[in-house]
Structure formats: structure tokens, C-alpha cells
Amino acid sequence: MEEGKKRMAVLVGCNYHNTRNELHGCINDVLTMRETLVTRFGFQLSHVELLTDEPGSLVMPTGANIKKALDRMVDQAEPGDVLFFHYSGHGTKIPSVKPHHPFSQDEAIVPCDFNLITDIDFRQLVDRIPKGANFTILSDSCHSGGLIDKEKEQIGPSSVNFTSTTFPSQKPKMIPFEAIQQHLSSLTSINTSDIGTHLLVHFGGDASLKFRLPPTALDWFESLRSDAGILLSGCQANETSADMNPMMTGEKAYGAFSNAVQTVFKQQSGKLSNKEVVMLARKALQAQHFEQHPCLYCSDENVDATFLWQPKGPSA
């Protein structure tokens, strides 16, 4: 198989400027990743789409715009292609709408307009990837473990405990479900606790598939099987990911997981497997006393596959 015939990426950084949910390092994370993709992984700049909520951005990272960018990338995919999505921003957990799971919760990312993108949306994208291509998602957000619905857990919850440190400049990349519900209620003026109702009323056809399909239809999506999806999550499903804003030292703000991955790339010049990237990022975070454990979700054959099928040359 020809590896990496075409390399495409969508990078999304949400800092939520001038809101109570403001973060500081997310745009820096994806700008750094864009440079890394070009200089190390052979991506052409024209094939890397960047969406940030920087004031003045022409295309804001709303739920609809992020999904349109991902759809465009997936629609162009052919066997041998490498697809990559890096998200740095808030995550959340929402009540499951699946039958027989009344008390469970599902994972979602929080675009700048709160139009949630859920694990079902990412599952639907992965199921559209042609055989022989792969789709790697790196999510630096809270509760990001399990962000591809039904993807097989390869490196999961850690049983290792270590001393964590909470820094004054540290903020969790999480918006609680109740806060999202309250915000959406203020937009719709509807008195209901059902988040799906709020999302459908306010965003209509741009709302997540999770809320547009009947609950029984969610079982139509492929269950655990060999597929093209590879998720590197910044933390376990029950953990938070840290956003660091070390202004007092004059350093740039960053997401702890995104920064750990960049540290790994700087320390390791050769090819790395998906498993190695996650395990080395865990070590880097542990050395800095962060209590978050990156995880890997993918098929068995992609555990030891090379991360982003790194090419031999510095550029393509």
C-alpha cells in the first residue's frame, strides 16, 4: 500500500475570548501543530485547514464550520491518504441518548458557539474513510477518552497513581454539562432539561447526529471492528485536561497534552508508533506532575502503526 499519498489536516483551536470559559493556549497549540505537520510530517500548508476563534477570524470554529471542514477532508480521502484532526478546546460529558444506557454519559467537544460535536459525529466520519486510508484525531480537551463512539480502547485508564500538582496558571479544559445547558436555555428561552431539544431548536440541521436521529438509529453505526479511526485523547473519559497560562514567566500559553506531544517530537527524531506517542506523552506529563493520562483508541493493527505514517523526507 502506498502510504501517505495525500496528507490533509483540520486544526481547531478555541480560546473562547472574553467569556467565563476563556482559555489561553488552544490557538497556540494548533499553530504549533501546523508548523510540525509541515516540517516533520510532510503536509503541504495548502492541505492544512486552520480554524480558530481569534478575534477577526474570517471563519470561526462553530460546530457547523468544524463539521464542514471535516466533511470536506473526508470527501477527498482516497486509499493511502493520511487524515488528521487536532482539536484544542473545551470538552464535556452529556447524558447518553442510547437505549438501554439511561445513566451513562457520552463525550463531546464544545465549539465556540456551543453546538456540540459528539462521539456519534466522529464515528460517522470514521465510517466514511475509504479502506487503506487512516484518520487520526488528537483531542486536547477534557473527557476526550472515547470521543470516537465504539472505538476499541488500547491504552486506557491508568492504574498508576502519582503526586499531582495544581499550578496557579492551570485551568481545566471542561465546561460542565449544567453550564452548557444553562447557556443553551438562554438562547432558546425553552424551559426543558433536554439538551437535544435546545440544540435542535437553535441549530436545526447543523446539530449533532446524536440528537437528529432517533435513539434506536444510533445502533446502525458500526460497532467495534477494524477501521481507520485512531484517537489520541488528552486524558481519560473521567479526567480533565489542563490549559496552562504561564504569563508570570513570560512563556506562551499551551495545552498540557498538546505541549507534551510536541516535547515527544522534539526528543524523538525518528518514527514513532501511535502507542509510543501516547506512552511518551504520559511520561512527559507525569514528569511535570499533571494528573491526566492520555489514552489510545484504535484497531489492533493501528496500535503499533507509525503515527501519521511519517515520511522519510522532511517535506512532501
Per-residue pLDDT of the chain (316 residues; tens, 9 = 90+): 445 589 999 999 999 999 999 999 999 999 999 999 999 999 999 999 999 999 999 999 999 999 999 999 999 999 999 999 999 999 999 988 765 555 578 899 999 999 999 999 999 999 999 999 999 999 999 878 889 888 889 998 754 444 444 454 578 888 999 999 999 999 999 999 999 999 999 999 999 999 998 876 666 665 545 688 999 999 988 888 989 987 656 789 999 999 999 999 999 999 999 999 999 999 999 999 898 999 999 999 999 999 998 765 444 3
Sheet holding 170-172, edge to edge: 170-172, 242-244, 254-255
The H-or-E segment that residue 117 falls in is: strand 117-118
Rounded to whole angstroms, how far apart are CA atoms 18 and 131?
43
pLDDT on residue 199: 96
Task: Tell me the CA distances in angstroms from 15 to 110, 169, 194, 221, one per residue in order.
Answer: 11, 15, 27, 32
DSSP lists the bridge partners of residue 233 as 139, 295
Question: CA-CA distance, 239 to 249, in Å (whole number)?
Answer: 27
First-to-last C-alpha distance (Å) of the chain: 18
**Angle of CA points 154, 166, 108, to nearest 5°:** 45
C-alpha cell at 79: 486509499
Query: Which is nearest to 232 in space by CA: 160, 135, 161, 158?
Result: 135
User: Which DSSP letter does residue 126 get?
Assistant: H
Cell reading at 90: 473545551
Which residues neighbour 241 within 8 Å (Cβ) at sequence distance 6 or greater?
Answer: 91, 140, 141, 142, 144, 172, 173, 174, 234, 235, 255, 256, 257, 292
Question: Are the C-beta atoms of residues 124 and 210 closer than 8 Å to each other?
Answer: no
Catalytic residue among 112, 142, 235, 298: 142
Clarify whether 295 is annotated catalytic: no
For residue 122, how many C-alpha atoms fall within 13 Å in the half-sphere facing its CB? 32
Interhelix angle for 63-76 vs 119-127, to 10°? Answer: 20
Residue 1 is predicted with a pLDDT of 42
pTM of the full structure: 0.91
| Of 229, 95, 220, residue with least CA distance to 153 | 229
Distance CA 89, CA 174 (A): 8
Q: Catalytic: which of 86, 90, 143, 198?
A: 90
Residue count of the chain, please give it.
Answer: 316
Residue 5 is predicted with a pLDDT of 84
pLDDT score at 221: 61
Does the domain at 7-297 match CATH 3.10.180.10? Answer given as no
- Catalytic, 26? Answer no
